[in-house]
Amino acid sequence: MNSAPSAIAVRSVSKSFGRGDAMVRVLSDVSVEIGVREFFTLLGPSGCGKTTLLRLIAGFEELDSGDILIDGVRVDHLPPFRRPVNTVFQSYALFPHLTVAQNVAFALELQDLPRAEVRRRAGEALEMVRMGALAARKPAELSGGQQQRVALARALAPRPKVLLLDEPLSALDLKLRKEMQIELKQLQAEAGITFVFVTHDQEEALTLSDRIAVMQGGRILQLGTPREIYERPAHRFVADFIGEINLLEGQVSGHGKVRLDCGAEISAGAGQAAGARVTVAIRPERARLVRGGVLQAEVTHVAYLGTATIMQLRLADGGPFLLRAAADDLPAIGGRVQVDLPSDALQVFAA
């Protein structure tokens, strides 16, 4: 480890809401270190505690236990307005009674900067998100995408060390979302700011992030680069949540052998006790159509995508199997095929 403090350190943080019988534990013993200038993503299904963790960092909620450091300084007892982070809210939360320019200047005006400097920096921030032309409008006169940009400019204008973004793109349509993803990434690189980004869209997380924390039920299940998370998921849940994957149930039949429920026996599961129930996972693009392959299957659906072909197969026990192959590999629907499962592409999870 280098000696420079991380942009954000979250140490053994727990948080519950409610009291007595109605108490719900939302975060349990969460720890994470986020590096300076990192694009860090909190990814997980609805209700897993992503927003709560973000709000704890911003200071809108109080910790039950643990501590949070920003730039090496403990901030647990500081109110939001004393923390060097800014938030882009999911609902944008633009001030409806102020113009776009006044919204962006809000924090700058509170920093005792000279008037000209406030105007210059607000203008700069608006240019950064290409909203300079609409500076005189009220938020109600903007489209969703434009509001999103203003929210971003407003949070960037005071040059925070860390920007917290709570599903900032979720209200946008697909096309705009893709465009904004690219812009966000460029903006982050240009401004040199640490981003803590919340999403439940795994594709968005994989595209944007330097590192991802996959959360479930108030815990971080796995922390790693998009590649690590995609290729070496540490939990069945992570494997299932990120990208598409085939999950085959089976039982360890002997040393390094698994008998799948569909009947096939494959080499996998070394280190698991014989008789244990396991789940074998393989990505659709890692399985291969090979004559003499270990899985017998029937083709139920073929989708030609131009760059690849996606095949829906049915295994001997009736279970589905997804396979992605080169575009010219087009078997007939109803035809019988054999599938090979390369052992380096397999991942085994205890059930």
Would you count residue 199 as binding Mg ion (CB under 5 A)? no
- What are the residues whose beta carbons fall under 8 Å from the beta carbon of 270, sequence distance 6 or more? 255, 256
78, 106, 240, 257: which one binds other proteins (CB under 8 A):
106
Between 44 and 59, name the residue whose CB sits nearer to ligand ATP: 44
95, 127, 270, 333: which one binds other proteins (CB under 8 A):
95
d(CA 199, CA 182): 15
Q: ∠ CA(285), CA(289), CA(293), 5° rounding? A: 120
d(CA 101, CA 140): 14
Would you count residue 237 as binding other proteins (CB under 8 A)? no
Counts for the chain of helices (H) and strands (E), in that order: 8, 20
Q: x/- contact string, 19-38, with ligand ATP (CB under 6 A)? A: -----x-x------------
Would you count residue 47 as binding ligand ATP (CB under 6 A)? yes
Task: Judge whether 103 and 139 are in contact, CB under 8 Å.
Answer: yes
Would you count residue 217 as binding ligand ATP (CB under 6 A)? no
Task: Judge whether 38 and 195 are in contact, CB under 8 Å.
Answer: yes
Would you count residue 87 as binding Mg ion (CB under 5 A)? no
Range in contact with other proteins (rule: CB under 8 A) among 89-97, 257-265, 301-309, 331-339: 89-97
DSSP secondary structure letters along 160-214: -SEEEEESTTTTS-HHHHHHHHHHHHHHHHHHT-EEEEEES-HHHHHHH-SEEEE
Q: Look-up: residue for tokens 């330097």?
A: 210
Q: Look-up: residue for tokens 């096309």?
A: 175
Between 44 and 233, name the residue whose CB sits nearer to ligand ATP: 44
d(CA 226, CA 231): 8
From the CB of 248, what's the least distance to other proteins, in Å?
A: 45
Would you count residue 110 as binding other proteins (CB under 8 A)? yes
Between 32 and 128, name the residue whose CB sits nearer to ligand ATP: 32
Would you count residue 51 as binding ligand ATP (CB under 6 A)? yes
Between 18 and 72, name the residue whose CB sits nearer to ligand ATP: 18
Would you count residue 194 as binding Mg ion (CB under 5 A)? no
User: Scanning residues 42 to 61, which ones bind other proteins (CB under 8 A)?
Assistant: 58-60
d(CA 163, CA 154): 11
41, 51, 86, 194: which one binds Mg ion (CB under 5 A):
51
Q: ∠ CA(117), CA(131), CA(103), 5° rounding? A: 55
What's the token pair of residue 56?
A: 């704890």
17, 60, 95, 304: which one binds ligand ATP (CB under 6 A):
17
Would you count residue 50 as binding ligand ATP (CB under 6 A)? yes
Q: From edge to edge, which strands make up the β-sheet containing 265-267?
A: 265-267, 257-260, 246-254, 277-282, 347-350
Range in contact with ligand ATP (rule: CB under 6 A) among 43-51, 74-82, 205-213, 335-343: 43-51
1, 2, 19, 79: which one binds other proteins (CB under 8 A):
79
Would you count residue 275 as binding other proteins (CB under 8 A)? no
Q: Look-up: residue for tokens 């793109």?
A: 169
Q: Look-up: residue for tokens 């962006």?
A: 104
Q: Which does 87 bind (CB under 5 to 8 A by kind): Mg ion, other proteins, ligand ATP, none?
A: other proteins
Range in contact with ligand ATP (rule: CB under 6 A) among 39-47, 189-197, 306-314, 331-339: 39-47
Task: Judge whether 54 and 42 are in contact, CB under 8 Å.
Answer: yes
The footprint of Mg ion (CB under 5 A) covers 51
The footprint of other proteins (CB under 8 A) covers 58-60, 79-81, 85-87, 89, 91, 93-97, 106-107, 110-111, 154-155, 158
The footprint of ligand ATP (CB under 6 A) covers 17-18, 24, 26, 44, 46-52, 200
